[in-house]
Amino acid sequence: MKLSFHGADRGVTGSCHLLECAGRRILVDCGLYQGSSELHEDNSAAFGFEASSIDHLLLTHAHLDHCGRIPLLARRGFRGEIVATAATRELARVVMLDSAHLQEEEARYRARRHQRRHGRAAAVASEPLYTTLDALDSLAYFGRTATYGEPLELAPGIRVTFEDAGHILGSASVCVDVEEGSERRRIVFSGDLGNAGRPLLRAPVVPPSPVDALVLETTYGDRVHRPIGPTIEEFYQVVEQTFRRGGNVVVPSFALERAQEILFVLREGVENGRLPRLMQVFLDSPMAISATEIFARHPECCAPQVAQMLQAGIDPFHLPGLHYTRDASESEAINRFSSGAVILAGAGMCSGGRIRHHLRHNLWREDCSIVFVGFAARGTLARRIIDGAESVRIFDEDIRVRAQVHTINGFSAHADRDELLQWHGRLKPRRTFLVHGEEDVMRGFASRLAGAQVEMPELGASYAI
């Protein structure tokens, strides 16, 4: 049995791991590298394995850094079966189509830039990583649906069980049980683990022991989150203070989970009189709007309180002043609101999307607030603003950063250091492979796993299990 690593190795994006066992080749996730536009080369590089040789792809969740290279995998010859939960399957469809659209746009942008600089058309650089058609084609490979806690016979001698990872809607840790002759092995892939106690989802489930090998994410292996109660209070205070100053609150927001969580929190704030009833809230992201609709279809993935609301026909995201703005023209019209609005838009790391327009209109205004509620990778616009840049470049224009910048980390969809340690401690794996973390964070985390056999695989590394 062999385990090899093809993405998110000493980095937080591009998750892709390959397990070879019982005569099958099983990929776990096939994510996109994200962070800066220079990553096109990493994304278009060879996978490190033959796409056509993969029998199964187990998808832990629908974030782009876990599913974003699936259309490329199919384009390069993958004809196997993708297994995921029902919610992940629906969300991944939206995410991959959106990504294909962005890839096409970026390719056009690169072609224009090349033409401007060199006076002639570019050959390779203008090719999109994949097209909308590739994304649609790849949907054909979604096969069986996984249900939390129910083992599924993937192939003779291989059983997989998806357990609720509590990270985003439909997210899972995957437990692979393999029988080869008289040998039995259990390998667990954590996927991304959630932060327990958040309002919409349940806490991550710990798969059964004993575990021979664990592939563990370490995104926040170096920090402890603020509890959710004070986090929500801090958010309400920022909204109140900003409205009092006469400004807007701009929230760069991931379309999956974070946007729904913020809507839910705003709704609760209005319900309990903490926030103004007629506050204007804009969900300015077609993908987040679709994700919100998909959310309502999956009470089986929700925390009990939210599942009950959904089953009773109550919309957990309803606000009197809420506007879903799908069209670009509606999005532009938001700029007419100079005060009293909460604007949620993507991308969360501000690397593209409508958020850049809202930053252009609000970032230079002292009375406005920009509230970061999620992870910001190095090299992204979000990270530059968080790190205190005095001005940033948006659409070829230098914009002064005069708005109040807040980072509210307690909303994190990722387990913090202590939660990761606890989850690892309960699983007690014989070997641990750390992935999905920045290298210094991973080293610090590894030093806390005293007595455990820990590896930090390099890209392309492989291990006999």
Provide the binding-site residues for Zn ion, judged by CB under 5 A.
Answer: 63, 192
Q: Is 441 helix (H, G, I), strand (E, B) or coil?
A: helix
User: Cα Rg for the chain, rounded, in angstroms?
Assistant: 22
Distance of closest approach, residue 413 Cβ to Zn ion, in angstroms: 7
Q: Which is nearer to Zn ion, 279 or 415 (CB)?
A: 415
Distance of closest approach, residue 286 Cβ to Zn ion, in angstroms: 20
Distance of closest approach, residue 300 Cβ to Zn ion, in angstroms: 19
DSSP-derived pairing of the beta strands 81-85 and 56-58 = parallel
- Cα 144 to chain centroid, rounded: 23
Q: Which is nearer to Zn ion, 190 or 369 (CB)?
A: 190
Q: Which is nearer to Zn ion, 67 or 214 (CB)?
A: 67
User: What would the DSSP string read from start to end of 249-295?
Assistant: EEEE--TTTHHHHHHHHHHHHHHTTSS-TT-EEEEE-HHHHHHHHHH
User: Tokens for 90?
Assistant: 């629906």
Distance of closest approach, residue 390 Cβ to Zn ion, in angstroms: 32
Determine contact, residues 43/33, Cβ cutoff 8 Å: yes
**Rounded to whole angstroms, what are the CA distances from 86 to 171, 229, 298, 373, 408?**
10, 31, 8, 27, 31
Q: Is 452 helix (H, G, I), strand (E, B) or coil?
A: coil
Distance of closest approach, residue 240 Cβ to Zn ion, in angstroms: 31
Q: Which is nearer to Zn ion, 12 or 270 (CB)?
A: 12
DSSP letter at 208? P
DSSP-derived pairing of the beta strands 183-189 and 172-180 = antiparallel
Q: Which is nearer to Zn ion, 269 or 346 (CB)?
A: 346
Distance of closest approach, residue 219 Cβ to Zn ion, in angstroms: 8
Q: Which is nearer to Zn ion, 177 or 192 (CB)?
A: 192
Q: Which is nearer to Zn ion, 13 or 369 (CB)?
A: 13
Distance of closest approach, residue 302 Cβ to Zn ion, in angstroms: 17
User: Tokens for 396?
Assistant: 């070829």
Rounded to the nearest 5°, which phi and psi values hold at 58?
A: -95, 120
> Which amino acid type is present at position 362?
N
